[in-house]
């Protein structure tokens, strides 16, 4: 994942916490949906580029759902995430992992039949440049699929954790969660597509009620499975475990005791690169 901040490195225990806690909560359903959409747009074996693959959850779903013989190049800016993905997924047929900056992709023009990016665009320091790069390496007629999270209002569990974080700091609270959940909207992403030369853009809101068995795992995921934990530790005035307990309590107060279904909503964008 890409973000222009020294606090935004997915290092140390972050990849493992990201995968353990956030994987089943918010990434599995999204990755399964995205992989089906990508596969339905392919005509047989294809070359796919995945940008910002994280711990490889979407990589695995793409490998399982795309036609036999498909080659998937899974990239991420953060080597620690790639290492985790490769170790966890093992030898997936046709899958290779490569460190790459989304703003300067190390691939030739018109190289891939499909390019996908699950929850990565929000972190690009230069989003227009990132879209332009993905368009450049995409073959004419190839499909670019991007997913982003919708806002806190329709992802209330995340909004609750964010509110607990901010209430614990008198000044300069950690703000990382605003980036993936409160930065882009439909018109902004459509404009990015158009700026990269795409014409018609299909937009789909995907909602899922995810069964939760432990509110603390939800809180721990959003607090330690991303650079929020680095921001909290840098400030030094609040203990991360204190925040986890406070967020867990507020989640239970809001949604009730477990088991409970928490609502999440993402937005998927798809468009094909124009042919000459």
pLDDT of residue 6: 38
Residue 183 is predicted with a pLDDT of: 72
Q: Which residues contact 30 (CB under 8 A, 6 or more apart)?
A: 58, 118, 119, 147, 206, 208, 266
Which residue, 157, 163, 186, is CA-closest to 261? 157
Three-state DSSP state, 30? helix
Question: Given this model, what pLDDT does residue 2 score?
Answer: 43
pTM higher than 0.75, yes or no? Answer: yes
Tens-digit pLDDT string for the chain (276 aa)? 444 443 357 889 999 999 999 999 999 999 999 999 999 999 999 999 999 999 999 999 999 999 999 999 999 999 999 999 999 999 999 999 999 999 999 999 999 999 999 999 999 999 999 999 999 999 999 999 999 999 999 999 999 999 999 999 999 999 999 999 877 789 999 999 999 999 999 999 999 999 999 999 999 999 999 999 999 999 999 999 999 999 999 999 999 999 999 999 999 999 999 988
3-state helix, strand, coil in the chain (%, to 5): 45, 20, 35
Map tokens 């994987």 to a residue. 23
Homologous superfamily of 6-272: Vaccinia Virus protein VP39 (3.40.50.150)
122 near 5, Cβ under 8 Å? Answer: no
Predicted confidence at residue 10, as pLDDT, reads 85
pLDDT in tens, 127-168: 999 999 999 999 999 999 999 999 999 999 999 999 999 999
What pLDDT shows up at residue 113?
A: 98
């Amino acid at each position: 994942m890409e973000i222009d901040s020294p606090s935004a490195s997915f290092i140390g225990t972050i990849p493992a916490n990201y995968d353990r806690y956030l994987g089943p909560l918010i990434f599995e359903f999204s990755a399964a949906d995205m992989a089906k959409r990508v596969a339905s747009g392919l005509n047989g074996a294809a070359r796919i580029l995945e940008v910002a693959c994280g711990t490889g959850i979407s990589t695995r779903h793409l490998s399982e759902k795309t036609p036999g013989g498909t080659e998937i190049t899974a990239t991420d800016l953060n080597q620690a995430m790639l290492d985790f993905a490769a170790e966890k997924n093992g030898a997936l047929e046709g899958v290779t992992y490569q460190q790459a900056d989304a703003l300067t992709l190390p691939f030739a023009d018109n190289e891939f039949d499909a390019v996908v990016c699950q929850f990565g665009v929000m972190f690009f320091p230069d989003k227009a440049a990132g879209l332009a790069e993905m368009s450049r390496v995409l073959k004419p007629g190839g499909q670019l699929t991007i997913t982003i999270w919708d806002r806190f209002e329709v992802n209330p569990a995340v909004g609750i954790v964010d509110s607990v974080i901010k209430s614990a700091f008198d000044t300069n609270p950690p703000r990382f969660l605003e980036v993936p959940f409160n930065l882009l909207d439909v018109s902004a992403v459509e404009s990015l597509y158009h700026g990269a030369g795409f014409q018609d853009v299909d937009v789909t809101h995907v909602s899922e009620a995810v069964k939760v068995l432990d509110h603390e795992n939800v809180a721990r995921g959003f607090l330690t499975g991303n650079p929020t934990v680095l921001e909290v530790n840098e400030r030094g005035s609040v203990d991360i475990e204190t925040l986890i307990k406070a967020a867990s309590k507020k989640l239970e107060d809001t949604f009730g005791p477990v088991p409970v279904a928490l609502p999440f909503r993402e937005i998927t964008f798809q468009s094909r690169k124009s042919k000459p």
